[in-house]
A and B are shown apart, each in its own frame.
Chain A
Amino acid sequence: MVMIGLAGSRAMFLDLSGWSMLVGSALIVSRVPLGSTVKQLRIFFLFLVFVFLARALSLDFGKAASAGPLPYLSAPREAVVDGVLVCWRLVLVAMTGLAFTSTCSFAQIKAGLQWYLAPLPLVPEKRIATMIGLILRFIPRIIHQASETTQAHKARCIDNRKNPLYRLKTFVFSLARGIFRDADRLALAMAARGYQEGRTDPHLAATTQDRFVLTAVFVVFGLTFF
């Protein structure tokens, strides 16, 4: 993913096409439901529209006004191309992240993270990997709890309060209390199951598919930079 991000920052149309084919193939093979994914990412695509407009359009009051409803607005060809490239790179990064999270379980992500951090001195890689794993595991629960907190407050007519700061404060305190309570219970449960630093290391294994994708990443990275 790091290599894709680095290459993406320098990639032009031909390179981005290669990357796109690689990422697109990964998404198809991993059977990610593209239709519903596009629907869920509509806010992201709206953001891309703004990014494109910001890159492609320019206002210049010093030049002679051109005809049309926006006389001082122009879209130079170079700026439009630049806007397209930037948006394409952003889509590529997002889709790569999607392919990564769709094909890797939390356990595999944890194992990989621990493996990467192991050579670094003074870094407790097992503890960090466990923490990251727990965060990923409990994000759905936190989202559910936030929804329940919102519903509970609405049931007690919080909507009648017009002060947004008060509503935010009440929501945050209620949610935080629930999260910390669950965190406390989780810590106790982990301690009860003998959690300690000297745990068995996770099992890392690469399949033929993994090696193929890794090779393809190296090839496209090399073609982009050299």
Chain B
Amino acid sequence: MKFIEVEHLTYHYPDTKRGIEDIHLDIAAGGFVVLAGPNGSGKTTFLRHLNGLILPDAGCVRIRGVSVSENILRARRLVGMVFQHADSQIVGERVYDDVVFGPENLGLAREEIFRRAIAALDAVGLGALSDRRTDTLSGGEKRKLAIAGVLAMEPEILVFDEPFSDLDYPGTRQVLEQILSLHRQGYTILMTTHDLEKVIFYADRLLIMNEGRIVRDGTPSEIVGQVEKFGVRQPCALRLGMGIVSWL
């Protein structure tokens, strides 16, 4: 079933030729899609079209058959987006205050907001920290809080923009295990990353972007041998002749 349909999506930033050009693809429900590419290739620009943060110059994005531009609030509820810089997206003084921000925006009743917040915090293992000040959290905990804040809106697809940036090894493990757990629970995962090594074993689809276009689209095993010519580093294990292996 097509969960996201992207049709000839084109966008250029004002006064520049940079953006995305004629992106056309579908994403099925339940998949784990990795989008890789060098800096400036248009990955983040593409992601921001999925929930209407950017509206296209041409083409459209449909989530479960409904165009994003026709109902942006619906798109933002269905597509949960976790940004690269966790600190910049945490709005609450305390963990609980941040997690309820999304459900409050949906105008839900206070009891429903409480239920969702507790469920989201438990899902990411932050239930015991609900009263903690957000500026005292570690990098991994902040990323998990950002995920909880999105889960509380009960999305169907989770979009991660460079989820491992600025994280140490324990933080990276925490976040990766969390993402894999969410995928096992049935969420569709779409993730951009420079670092294929961490996630390629788990992905069922790999997209490579370059200069605003999708230049490769297929399974990881089909494509991974060609990634270096598009400015994406091949996983180390592959270079050593070991095939695609789990990073965990």
Contacts and interface: CB of A to CB of B under 8 A. Distances in A.
A196 B83 contact: no
A200 B112 CA distance: 11
From B73, B88, B113, B134, residue with most partner A Cβ within 10 Å = B88
Given A140-B135, A195-B105, A189 B83 contact: yes
A176 to B, nearest CB: 16
A198 B94 CA distance: 22
Interface residues of A, number: 25
B92 interface: yes
A134 B144 CA distance: 20
B169 to A, nearest CB: 24
A162 interface: no
Interface stretch (B34-42, B96-104, B171-179): B96-104
A166 to B, nearest CB: 30
A137 B93 contact: yes
A192 B149 CA distance: 11
A54 B86 CA distance: 50
Interface string A102-140: 000111000000000000000000000000011011001
B91 interface: yes
B74 to A, nearest CB: 9
Contacts of A188: 48, 53, 83
B106 interface: yes
Given A191-B53, A194-B102, A199-B104, 7 more contacts: A106-B92, A133-B93, A182-B88, A189-B91, A192-B89, A195-B101, A200-B113
16 contacts: A105-B94, A105-B97, A137-B92, A141-B135, A182-B88, A185-B83, A189-B83, A189-B88, A192-B83, A193-B101, A193-B102, A193-B150, A194-B106, A198-B107, A200-B106, A200-B110
